[in-house]
């Protein structure tokens, strides 16, 4: 059985690496059929099943080591590894070889600094305006009393007219129990292929949550590229009737666009353009100072060590799956945004 699973896994991955058409067909026709029943099941559980699986992994590995020492290793562990490899291939690896999403019918082209400048100033202006419209408390924190999970599901589903893959059942985003540890990794969310869940960091500032929820939901729909998940989260958020989602959508891409612009011009030119307001800078924080203090007070390991390990793991995982730019692929969303606004005229 183990050999059969490993052989199927190897053949499956070989087909994905060598044929985008195969990967596209799998994502569109087979992936939803295989994953939806399981996603519906795990969505009924109020906590993160994937997080629980990771916690359980340590005793499993310890048991495997004991079995190996007791010469019973080959009875069960290799089959477990083969099953995990096949599950990851179906729910994750093959998706890295799908064709890029089509933002418009226009042919791709290089964009000028002027176009990047216009995009950057537009995004900053939207953030500044929305920061004034959304309610804040006396300490400057955003006040939100809606159903964020429901709004995230509705926002993503609304894109199905243009991206049919986003239709059908949508998972319910879940907060991570160990959000402090996720904060040390500077991670806002996580897609668990083992449980088909969209999980988010509950410690991060509230305006990060709508964008992150939509981003992780996009992953569960088969959009595994980080730039595409960012782009779809942006579209979902700015198309929402919920002002918090619209604000979060623009905030979600602000740093990417602003950083690219900052690198492309001199300081005087940068300073001459629309300034990011103090309220936007505060709302756009990853964590508040109070949240960071809570993280550090309960940390088992140094944040610097955890972040370095997480960055290495993410970068390696992306490169192993054919994304040569690794973590830099997150910033490719700027290109998608330029294409989108170009197509909008």
pLDDT digits (tens, 9 = 90+) for 171-195: 999 999 999 988 998 999 999 898 9
23/12 Cα distance (integer angstroms)? 10
**Residues 86, 143 within the same domain:** no
Cβ distance 330 to 224 under 8 Å?
no
Asked whether residue 108 is assigned to any structural domain, the reply reads no
Q: Are residues 139 and 80 in the same domain?
A: no
Q: Is residue 141 part of a domain?
A: yes
Q: Do residues 195 and 219 make contact, with C-beta atoms less than 8 angstroms apart?
A: no
Same domain assignment for residues 131 and 29: no
Average the pLDDT over each of 10-14, 28-32, 165-169, 298-302 and give the range with the smallest value.
Answer: 298-302
Last residue of a domain, one of 97, 129, 156: 97
Query: Does some domain include residue 107?
Result: no
Per residue in 227-280, pLDDT tens? Answer: 999 999 999 999 999 999 999 999 999 999 999 999 999 999 999 999 999 999
Looking at the domain assignment, is residue 39 inside a domain? yes
Centroid of chain to Cα 131: 24
Instruction: Note whether 186 and 313 are within 8 A (CB).
Output: no
| Ranges 55-59, 179-183, 210-214, most confident | 210-214
* Whole-number Å distance between alpha carbons of 246 and 81: 43
Secondary structure class of 200 (helix, strand, coil): strand
Residue 105 lies in a domain: no
Q: How many CB atoms lie within 10 A of CB 107?
A: 5
Q: Please report the pLDDT score of residue 74 as a whole number.
A: 53
127 and 84 in a single domain? The answer is no
Mean pLDDT of the 326-339 span: 71
Residue 58, pLDDT > 90, answer no
Q: How many CB atoms lie within 10 A of CB 206?
A: 15
**217-221, 258-262, 314-318: least confidently modelled range:** 314-318
Same domain, 59 and 144: no
Residue 106 lies in a domain: no
117 and 242 part of one domain: yes
Residue after which a domain boundary falls, among 38, 73, 97:
97
* H or E element that contains 191: strand 189-192
User: Tokens standing for 287?
Assistant: 């964590």
Query: Based on the domain organization, do 167 and 315 belong to the same domain?
Result: yes
Least confident range from 129-133, 297-301, 302-306: namely: 302-306
Residue 68 has pLDDT above 70, yes or no: no
Q: What is the pLDDT of residue 258?
A: 96
**Span 193-213, average pLDDT:** 96
288 burial type by CB count under 10 A (0-12 exposed, 13-18 middle, 19+ buried): middle
Residue 62 clears pLDDT 70, i.e. is over it: no
**Would you say how long the chain is, in residues?**
345
Domain tally for the chain?
A: 2
Pairwise pLDDT comparison (319 vs 222), residue with the higher score: 222
Same domain, yes or no: 165 and 302: yes
The residue with greater pLDDT, 321 or 250, is 250
Q: Is residue 103 assigned to a domain?
A: no
- % of the chain at pLDDT higher than 90: 66
pLDDT at 4: 87
Residue 41 has pLDDT above 50, yes or no: yes
What's the mean pLDDT in 154-180?
95
Q: Which residues pair with 198 in a beta bridge?
A: 191
Q: Copy the structure tokens of residue 137.
A: 């408390």
Task: Look up residue 269 and give its two tokens.
Answer: 């030119």
Q: Are residues 149 and 211 in the same domain?
A: yes
Residues 293 and 156 in one domain: yes
Are 56 and 130 in the same domain? no
Is residue 304, in this structure, part of any structural domain at all? yes
Flag whether pLDDT at 199 surpasses 90: yes
Domain that holds residue 57: 2-97
**How much of the chain exceeds pLDDT 70, in percent?**
86
pLDDT given for residue 327 in this prediction: 38
Mean pLDDT in the chain? 88
* For residue 325, pLDDT beyond 80: no
Shared domain for 265 and 309, answered yes or no, is: yes
């Amino acid at each position: 059985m183990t050999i059969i699973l490993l052989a199927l896994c190897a053949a499956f991955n070989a087909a994905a690496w060598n044929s985008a058409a195969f990967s596209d067909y799998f994502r569109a026709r087979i992936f939803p059929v295989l994953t939806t029943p399981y996603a519906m099941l795990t969505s009924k559980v109020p906590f993160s099943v994937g997080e629980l699986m990771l916690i359980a992994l340590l005793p499993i590995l310890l048991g495997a080591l004991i079995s190996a020492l007791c010469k019973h290793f080959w009875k069960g562990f290799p089959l477990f590894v083969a099953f995990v490899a096949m599950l990851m291939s179906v729910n994750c690896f093959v998706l890295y070889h799908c064709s890029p999403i089509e933002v418009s019918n226009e042919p791709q082209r290089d964009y000028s600094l002027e176009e990047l400048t216009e995009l950057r100033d537009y995004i900053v202006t939207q953030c500044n305006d929305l920061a004034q419209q959304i309610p804040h408390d006396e300490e400057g924190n955003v006040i939100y009393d809606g159903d964020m999970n429901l709004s995230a599901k509705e926002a993503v589903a609304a894109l199905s007219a243009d991206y049919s893959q986003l239709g059908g059942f949508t998972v319910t985003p879940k907060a991570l129990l160990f959000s402090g540890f996720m904060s040390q990794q500077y991670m806002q969310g996580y897609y668990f292929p083992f449980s088909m869940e969209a999980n988010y960091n509950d410690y991060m500032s509230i305006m990060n949550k709508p964008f992150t929820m939509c981003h992780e939901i996009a992953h569960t729909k088969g959009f595994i590229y980080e730039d595409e998940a960012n782009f779809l989260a942006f579209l979902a958020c700015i198309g929402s009737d919920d002002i918090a989602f619209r604000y979060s959508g623009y905030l979600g891409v602000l740093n990417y666009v602003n950083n690219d612009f900052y690198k492309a011009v001199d300081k005087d030119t940068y300073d001459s353009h629309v300034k990011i307001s103090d309220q936007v800078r505060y709302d756009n924080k990853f964590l508040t100072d109070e949240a960071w203090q809570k993280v550090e007070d309960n940390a088992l390991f140094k944040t610097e060590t955890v972040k370095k390990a997480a960055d290495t793991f993410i970068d390696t995982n992306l490169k192993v799956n054919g994304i040569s730019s690794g973590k830099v692929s997150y910033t490719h969303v700027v290109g998608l945004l330029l294409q989108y606004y170009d197509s909008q005229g």
